[in-house]
Amino acid sequence: MDVKRPKNNKIARDVKTEKHFVWLWSYILLAAVFLTTHFLLRFQAISISAKYHQGFQNLSLALFLSVLVLTASKFLEIIIIKKTRTKFKRYNLIRLAHFLTFIAIIILVISFVFSNWYAAAVSLGLISLILGFALQTPISSFIGWIYILIRNPYRIGDRIQLDTFKGDVVEIGYLDTTLWEFAGDYLTNDLPSGRLIRFPNSLILQSTVINYSWRNFQYIWNEIPFHVAYESDLEFLEKTMKEVTKKTLGENMEKHIEELRELVKESPIDDMEIKSYPYVTFRINPNTWVEATVTYLVPPKEAASIRTRIIKQVIEVLIKEPEKTMFPRSNAR
């Protein structure tokens, strides 16, 4: 079965762009208001105490420049939305733009509000030193966010396992990541549990990440065991399991297997055998029956539904041939 990739919804992007244009024009209007206020204060058209006159004049100019930065940031977001086709890249670029905008505004406000640069720098240095000791964990999480952007161990929409957490990534914040959990404490399959998991980004620097949605090959191996009696026709069983699994997975699966073979050829691993999928293996189960296991490639988020369909269809075919396939009976089942 081929992976169903959602197409970029042009209408949704246009709606987002329209909203950003509304904010863009709002920022431009606000910038005009602050600039007008600045010149009114500068030419003393507004009556204000001389003690606070220079401070308000600097503040109005700082606010004007800050709104200009916000305007440029919003314009950049519009370009990102229009030019970037993949959701995770768009998400990361917009997050990065927001962060740089925040830093630029802080620098502008400090530059214009504090006339004494040396005092401001000393104060800022002392505050940074104190906050550095007090906020070690958030700072580590922020560094983890930068690591995620650069190394890209996971992205929005990926299905991952980190430490004991398993889920689909729905948000990557500056300090934490949010997962939509699958499986969990109350489920024995890989369906969404309905719970959200939020963990600090600093965990990425300490734990192993298992990504089920590797962008170069977005499939995983699954297997289903079937238990049959020794008297069963194992060749018929193997043929049935392969045919049903191939039919369920679709014709494109062979193409994906070839893609995997090409990836292996390009890697340092040159002795890894990639068998034709699906394939069936047999082993003797300790409970006096034969265990026939079909192994196949499947998109991770569709594993549960495909597994259910294969089981139902294989059993349906085998039951129609009781002479060829016998299932364990009585208490030995």
Per-residue model confidence as pLDDT tens digits over 42-65: 777 776 766 666 777 777 888 888
Judgement on whether residues 267 and 328 belong to the same structural domain of the protein: yes
Percent of the chain surpassing pLDDT 70: 80
Judgement on whether residues 197 and 157 belong to the same structural domain of the protein: yes
pLDDT tens for 105-123 read 887 777 776 655 555 555 5
pLDDT bin (cut points 50, 70, 90) of residue 134 is: low
Comparing CA positions, the residue from 210, 297, 299 lying closest to residue 261 is 297
Task: Find the CATH number of the domain harbouring 160.
Answer: 2.30.30.60
Q: Does 122 fall in a domain?
A: no
pLDDT bin (cut points 50, 70, 90) of residue 179 is: very high
3-state SS, residue 293: strand
Judgement on whether residues 236 and 270 belong to the same structural domain of the protein: yes
Q: Cα 132–59–32 angle (5° rounding)? A: 120
Q: Has this prediction a pTM greater than 0.85?
A: no
Residue 273 pLDDT exceeds 80: no
Residue 19 pLDDT exceeds 70: yes
Q: Does 27 fall in a domain?
A: yes
Task: Find the CATH number of the domain harbouring 267.
Answer: 3.30.70.100
pLDDT tens for 213-259 read 877 777 888 999 999 988 889 999 999 999 999 899 887 777 777 77
Judgement on whether residues 57 and 107 belong to the same structural domain of the protein: yes
Most confident among 3-7, 271-275, 277-281 (mean pLDDT): 277-281
Q: Determine the pLDDT at residue 6.
A: 45
Q: Does 120 fall in a domain?
A: no
pLDDT bin (cut points 50, 70, 90) of residue 316 is: very high
276-285, 290-299, 322-331, range with the lowest pLDDT: 322-331
What pairs with residue 179 in β-bridges? 169, 197
Residue at which a domain ends, from 192, 211, 230: 211
Q: Determine the pLDDT at residue 269.
A: 61
Judgement on whether residues 240 and 283 belong to the same structural domain of the protein: yes
Q: Does 288 fall in a domain?
A: yes
Q: Does 123 fall in a domain?
A: no
Judgement on whether residues 161 and 111 belong to the same structural domain of the protein: no
Residue at which a domain ends, from 115, 137, 168: 115
Q: Enumerate residues 6+ apart whose C-beta is below 8 A from 125.
A: none
Judgement on whether residues 177 and 255 belong to the same structural domain of the protein: no
Judgement on whether residues 224 and 328 belong to the same structural domain of the protein: yes
Q: Does 128 fall in a domain?
A: no
Percent of the chain surpassing pLDDT 90: 19
Comparing CA positions, the residue from 97, 37, 43, 40 lying closest to residue 62 is 37
C-alpha span between 309 and 299 (Å, rounded): 14
Judgement on whether residues 187 and 226 belong to the same structural domain of the protein: no
Q: Enumerate residues 6+ apart whose C-beta is below 8 A from 182.
A: 159, 166, 167, 168, 190, 191, 192, 193
Phi (first) and psi of residue 25, to 5 degrees: -70, -30
**Torsion, Cα of 48, 52, 54, 60 (10° steps):** -80
Higher pLDDT, 26 or 18: 26
Judgement on whether residues 39 and 58 belong to the same structural domain of the protein: yes
C-alpha span between 255 and 261 (Å, rounded): 10
Residue at which a domain ends, from 165, 188, 211: 211
Domain that holds residue 22: 10-115
Q: Does 127 fall in a domain?
A: no
Average pLDDT value for residue range 3-22: 56
Say how many domains are in the chain: 3
Average pLDDT value for residue range 77-97: 78
Judgement on whether residues 206 and 225 belong to the same structural domain of the protein: no
Residue 130 pLDDT exceeds 70: no
Q: Does 125 fall in a domain?
A: no
Most confident among 125-129, 134-138, 195-199 (mean pLDDT): 195-199
Average pLDDT value for residue range 261-277: 67
Judgement on whether residues 170 and 75 belong to the same structural domain of the protein: no
Residue 1 pLDDT exceeds 50: no
Comparing CA positions, the residue from 302, 286, 284, 283 lying closest to residue 294 is 283
